[in-house]
């Protein structure tokens, strides 16, 4: 199962024969599919899915109001990403249809939904224990460890952890109560981790890689199905895959170090924490940031937002050109038909 951490999440289910892959939207403690997605999942026509759903509601097995919701669905039409609001059906409805279809696909999905998906919906994660123990142990544990590092390296998780450590270890606790002081300290630590990973501060990374001429305006990752303007102001969204892995590992190592300092009951000033972080980076043979970098974050973020606006204008122009060429082609074809008719 693959998920997207932010807001509405996505679970990807692949049939055992590998013939189909279905993306379930996770929202409000359940999973959602459209009729078309259910037809792909159970390998039957959309008309059959519609009939089974109607019978399920007509017979009182499920209540339509509690199992159907209109949700956004993102798709590609004529080379363009299009978002439409259409009816989705929750896990209870999906399972009810699966029982009525009575095929191997339905049985396999019910087993997966019961053992894996429901665990994820309740706990926020799911682990296939037997697979981890017996089937390709190195690969699966590596994937799991990488996932844990990604979660720990998220800005929200790291900020909370750093705040906990500072609260437990800092003598100048009155400054910790000032959110701005902690946020500035956090930005300094984060810049050191960025610099140790790729030789740039967070602001420098945004400034250099936000580019309207590049695919997705320079972004390499983002929240949800497609990039949005807000994704442009987060430095980690510009990291290449190898850089992201190094950054996640380094962040995880730093949090272990910080937690260990807290457990040793050492008391430090915020200034001491910065010095200890630099010493820790030197010990781990990483380059250490000197000063504050060449760009301010507000400067970099403003530039990134401008690049996004330029990127959107370029896309609109490209779409307009495609539409115009299509229209011109249709006019030429119509003229040809009229000309043949006259003769």
pLDDT in tens, 128-139: 444 444 444 455
pLDDT band at 308 (very low <50, low <70, confident <90, very high): very high
Of the ranges 123-127, 153-157, 276-280, which is most confident? Answer: 276-280
Q: Please say if the pLDDT value at position 50 is more than 90.
A: yes
Q: Is the pTM of this model over 0.85?
A: no
State the pLDDT at residue 233. Answer: 93
pLDDT band at 281 (very low <50, low <70, confident <90, very high): very high
Q: Please say if the pLDDT value at position 103 is more than 90.
A: no
Per residue in 173-214, pLDDT tens?
455 555 566 677 778 888 999 999 999 999 999 999 999 999
Q: How far is CA 253 from the centre of its chain?
A: 23
User: pLDDT averaged over the chain?
Assistant: 78
Q: Can you list the pairs that 8-16 forms with residues at least 24 positions away whose Cβ atoms lie under 8 Å?
A: 8/224, 10/225, 11/117, 11/120, 13/41, 13/109, 13/112, 13/117, 15/41, 15/105, 15/108, 15/109, 16/108
Which helix (H) or strand (E) element contains residue 86?
Answer: strand 80-90
For the chain, what percent of residues have pLDDT higher than 70?
68
Q: Which residues of 60-87 are buried (b: 16+ CB within 10 A; e: fewer)?
A: eebeeeebbbeeebeeeeeeeeeeeeee
Residues 6+ apart with CB under 8 A from 138: none
Per residue in 156-173, pLDDT tens?
666 566 666 666 665 554
State the pLDDT at residue 30. Answer: 83
More confident: 267 or 295: 295
Per residue in 218-260, pLDDT tens?
999 987 778 899 999 999 999 999 999 898 888 888 888 877 7
Contact 308, 218 (CB under 8 A): no
Contact 317, 309 (CB under 8 A): no
- Please report where in the chains the tokens 């009810």 appear, as a residue: 96
State the pLDDT at residue 260. Answer: 78
Q: Please say if the pLDDT value at position 85 is more than 70.
A: yes
Q: Is the dihedral of CA 300, 302, 303, 308 positive or negative?
A: positive
Contact 4, 74 (CB under 8 A): no
State the pLDDT at residue 137. Answer: 44
pLDDT band at 322 (very low <50, low <70, confident <90, very high): low
- The alpha helices in the chain, defined as continuous H runs, are 35-42, 46-58, 64-67, 91-101, 104-112, 118-123, 129-134, 137-153, 155-169, 173-176, 179-198, 202-209, 241-263, 270-283, 297-342
Q: Phi and psi (nearest 5°) for 77?
A: -125, 120
State the pLDDT at residue 109. Answer: 83
State the pLDDT at residue 219. Answer: 95
């Amino acid at each position: 199962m693959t998920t997207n951490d932010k807001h509405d999440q996505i679970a990807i289910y692949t049939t055992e024969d590998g013939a189909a892959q279905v993306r379930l939207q996770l929202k409000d403690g359940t999973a959602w599919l459209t009729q078309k997605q259910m037809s792909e999942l159970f390998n039957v026509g959309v008309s059959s899915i519609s009939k089974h759903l109607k019978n399920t509601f007509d017979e009182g097995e499920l209540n339509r109001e509690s199992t159907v919701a209109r949700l956004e669905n993102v798709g590609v039409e004529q080379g363009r990403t299009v978002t439409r609001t259409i009816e989705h059906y929750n896990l209870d409805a999906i399972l009810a249809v699966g029982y009525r279809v009575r095929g191997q696909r339905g049985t396999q999905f019910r087993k997966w939904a019961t053992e894996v998906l429901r665990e994820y919906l309740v706990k926020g994660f799911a682990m296939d224990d037997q697979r981890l123990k017996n089937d390709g142990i190195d690969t699966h544990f590596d994937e799991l460890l990488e996932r844990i590092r990604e979660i720990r390296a998220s800005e929200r998780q790291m900020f909370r952890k750093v705040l906990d450590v500072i609260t437990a270890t800092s003598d100048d606790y009155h400054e910790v109560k000032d959110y701005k002081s902690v946020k500035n300290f956090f930005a300094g630590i984060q810049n050191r981790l960025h610099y140790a990973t790729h030789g740039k501060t967070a602001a420098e990374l945004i400034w250099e890689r936000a580019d309207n001429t590049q695919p997705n305006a320079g972004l390499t990752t983002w929240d949800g199905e497609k990039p949005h303007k807000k994704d442009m102001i987060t430095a980690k969204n510009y990291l290449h895959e190898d850089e992201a892995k190094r950054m996640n590992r380094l962040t995880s190592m730093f949090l272990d170090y910080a937690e260990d300092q807290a457990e040793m009951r050492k008391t430090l000033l915020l200034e001491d924490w910065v010095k200890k972080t630099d010493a820790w980076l030197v010990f781990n043979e990483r380059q250490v940031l000197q000063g504050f970098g060449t760009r301010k974050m507000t400067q970099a973020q403003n530039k990134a937002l401008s690049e996004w606006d330029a990127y959107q204008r370029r896309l609109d122009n490209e779409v307009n050109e495609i539409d115009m060429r299509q229209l011109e082609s249709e006019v030429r074809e119509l003229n040809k038909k009229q000309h043949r008719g006259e003769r």
